[in-house]
């Protein structure tokens, strides 16, 4: 079971997830401190490490639109958050998969902060509301990277196979 720790609407841009003014910070070990920096309460929870691993951000359509900055994915991967959204923007989705941030496409999801979710491969169940919502499978090209544990190990394997 995982708690919804943050709920946010449609078209959340990478400027909201990781504001441009912190872009000089790039290392995945350092980016979480600026995650959602302009949403001070949620940012404080992350900075003070008050978030249980596997906790969920619930979002609307087109989560992660805007810039290609990978910090927007690494800053959520650090605290081991899971993003359940009605839809994702392309580059953000790809970055998340490459870094191993768990992203779940759940077009009908209904949940509020504090709800308990069970996030499965085919469906998400909101235990608090007693409702289950279908999950759209990842584009198949991406699943291979997830299965390899991210793009770095995937690329390393191809490099060693001289492919």
Partner 1 sequence: MGMTVVQKILAGASGRRDVSVGDVVEPRVDIAMSHENAALVINQFNEVFKDTGRTPKVWDPSKIVIIFDHRVPAESAKTATNQKKIRDFVQKQGIPNFHDVRGDEGGICHQVLPENGYIRPGSVVVGTDSHTTSHGALGAFSFGIGATEMAAVWTLGRVLNVEVPGTIRVTVGGRFPDGVAPKDLILYLIGKLTAEGANFRVIEFHGDAIRKLPTSGRITICNMTVEAGATSGIVPADEETERYLREEAGLSGPFDRVAPDPDAVYAEEVAVDVGALAPQVACPHTVDHVKPVGEVAGTKVDQIVIGSCTNGRFDDLETAARILRGKKIAKGVRMLVFPASWRIYKRALKEGILETLVDSGAVIVNPGCGCCLGVHQGALGDGEVALSTTNRNFKGRMGNPNAEVYLCSPATAAASSVTGAITDPRKVG
Q: Residue 102 interacts with partner 1 (CB under 8 A)?
A: no
Beta strands in 32-128 (DSSP E): 56-59, 82-85, 102-105, 116-119, 123-126
Q: Residue 76 interacts with partner 1 (CB under 8 A)?
A: no
Q: Residue 103 interacts with partner 1 (CB under 8 A)?
A: no
Return the DSSP state at 122: S
Q: Which part of the chain contacts partner 1 (CB under 8 A), choosing from 50-58, 66-74, 117-125, 127-135?
A: 66-74
Q: What is the x/- site pattern for partner 1, positions 121-150, by CB under 8 A? A: ------------------xxxx-xx----x
Rounded to 10 degrees, the C-alpha dihedral 15/20/33/9 comes to -10
Burial of 22: CB neighbours in 10 Å, binned 0-12, 13-18, 19+: middle
Total of residues contacting partner 1 (CB under 8 A): 46
Instruction: Tell me how many helices (H) and strands (E) the chain has.
Output: 6, 7
Q: Which part of the chain contacts partner 1 (CB under 8 A), choosing from 51-59, 69-77, 106-114, 120-128?
A: 69-77
Cβ 54 to partner 1, closest distance in Å? 22
Looking at the DSSP bridge assignments, the partners of residue 13 are: 65
**Euclidean distance between CA atoms 128 and 114, whole angstroms:** 9
Residues near partner 1 (CB under 8 A) are 11, 13, 15-16, 19-21, 23-27, 38, 61-62, 65-70, 73, 87, 89-91, 94-95, 98-99, 139-142, 144-145, 150-152, 154-156, 158-160, 163
């Amino acid at each position: 079971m995982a708690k919804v720790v943050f709920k946010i609407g449609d078209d959340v841009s990478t400027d909201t997830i990781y504001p441009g003014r912190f872009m000089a910070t790039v290392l995945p070990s350092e980016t979480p401190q600026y995650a959602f920096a302009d949403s001070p309460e949620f940012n404080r929870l992350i900075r003070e490490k008050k978030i249980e691993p596997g906790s969920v951000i619930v979002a609307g359509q087109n989560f992660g639109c805007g810039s290609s900055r990978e910090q927007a994915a690494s800053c959520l991967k650090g605290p081991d958050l899971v993003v359940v959204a009605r839809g994702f923007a392309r580059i953000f989705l790809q970055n998340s998969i490459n870094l191993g941030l768990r992203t779940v496409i759940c077009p009908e999801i209904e949940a509020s902060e504090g709800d308990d979710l069970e996030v499965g491969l085919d469906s998400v169940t909101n235990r608090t509301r007693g409702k289950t919502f279908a999950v759209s499978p990842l584009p198949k090209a991406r699943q291979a990277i997830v299965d390899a544990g991210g793009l770095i190990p995937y690329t390393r394997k191809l490099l060693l196979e001289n492919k």
